[in-house]
Amino acid sequence: MVRIGIIGGTGVYDPKILKDISEEHIRTDYGNIRVTVGKHNGIPVAFLPRHGEDHTIPPHRVNYRGNIMALRKLGVERILATGAVGSLNLKMNPGEFVLVDQFIDFTKNRPHTFFEDGEKGVVHIDMTEPYCREFRKIVATAAATLEIPLKTRGTYICTEGPRFETPAEIKMYSLLGGHLVGMTGVPEVVLAREAEMCYVTVAMITNFAAGISPKPLTHTEVLEAMGRSNDNLRKLIMRVIEMIPEGRNCECQNSIEELGSLGQGRFLS
């Protein structure tokens, strides 16, 4: 059983850390999803590059439901997702990692739920603590053991993209309490909770956001910054995999319990 899933964001396309790699094609209600399965230290891990292996899928076209359901069908319980972000906060600098703890959703055009037509019940998933408390602690401890600087809190603003933001938007997001801005964290985190999976985002700051940065933003700049942090990110992911315990002690695994028999059985059918 593959219990751990990695969703690689911008700049993280290659499961180099894994051995004994095979390609799995998982059929879901949302299409066929290709997932790479391999091992680190003998531990099975699933890897899925969110934007495709050649970065051909823009943020608003990512098959979020297909990806989460494919990982769920493989048996994945915990997902570590990476994401490139811009910083809205002068205390959060390019090159730093942030373990996101809240999000504000500004996306416009994406399916946000598995429970769409009422047939499987209507779900209003709780988002008081959107990112798994237990898993966030494991990631924070892993970073500390490696002496990789990681901020353990940050509010992630999710925009629709694929364009970058205007300075006026960034000013507004900042006034609303946002620290970081990216285009892919939502609905991934929401769908993972609906699927009763633990989910964390390790955000990698690649730039100061528009209007804070002294120059116009480019995707190349984001990719270059990701490239500079890739070594640390890889080390962090490996350490996290090694530290994950067998069972789960968080509430994520019972998030749709109130649906009763309409819950997991129907969800996976």
Contact residues toward ligand HPA (CB under 6 A) are 84-86, 159, 164-165, 181-183, 206-207, 209, 217, 222
Residue 159, SS3? strand
What's the CA angle centered on 111, arms 105 and 113, to 5 degrees?
90
Nearer of residues 7 and 138 to ligand HPA, judged by Cβ:
7
- Closest CB 226 distance from ligand HPA, rounded Å: 9
Closest residue to bound ligand HPA by CB: 86
Q: Which is nearer to ligand HPA, 205 or 240 (CB)?
A: 205
β-bridge pairing 4-8 and 43-49: parallel
- Cβ 74 to ligand HPA, closest distance in Å? 28
Q: How far is the CB of 82 from ligand HPA (least distance, A)?
A: 11
> In the complex with ligand HPA, which residue's Cβ is closer, 106 or 131?
106
| CA distance readout (Å), 264 to 17, 70, 147, 212, 267 | 32, 14, 39, 45, 5
Minimum CB separation of residue 210 from ligand HPA in Å reads 6
Nearer to ligand HPA, 42 or 214 (CB): 214
Q: Which amino acid is at 239?
A: R
* Residue indicated by tokens 């996976």: 268
φ/ψ (deg, to 5) at 93 = -105, 150
Q: How far apart are CA 3 and CA 245, in angstroms?
A: 10
Question: Of 124 and 215, which has the nearer Cβ to ligand HPA?
Answer: 215
Task: Please report how close the Cβ of residue 51 comes to ligand HPA at its closest, in angstroms.
Answer: 11
